[in-house]
Chain A
Amino acid sequence: MSARHRNQANYWAFVVHRVSGVLLALFLPVHFQVLVLAVKDGAAFDSFTAWTEAPMVKLAEAALIVLLAAHLTGGLRLLAIEFLPWRDWQKSVVAITAGISLAMGLVYLLNVT
Chain B
Amino acid sequence: MSGSDNMHDGLADEFAARGPRPGTETRLWLAQRLSAMVLGVCVVVHLITIVIAVQGGLSAAEITARVAGNPAWTAFYAVFVIAISVHAPIGLRSVLAEMTKLSARRVDLLCFIAAAMLFVLGIRVVTKFHALGAGL
Contacts and interface: CB of A to CB of B under 8 A. Distances in A.
A37 B124 CA distance: 11
Interface residues of B, number: 38
B60 A38 contact: yes
Contacts of B61: 42
A46 B58 CA distance: 8
Interface of A is mostly: helix
Nearest to A50: B57
Contacts, number: 95
Given A25-B88, A108-B50, A38 B63 contact: yes
Interface string B42-59: 011011001110111111
A65 B114 contact: no
Given A28-B84, A42-B61, A68-B43, A113 B125 contact: no
Interface in B4-52: 33, 36-37, 39-40, 43-44, 46-47, 50-52
B95 interface: yes
A107 B59 contact: no
A111 B54 contact: yes
A37 B60 CA distance: 8
A49 B39 contact: no
A79 B121 CA distance: 28
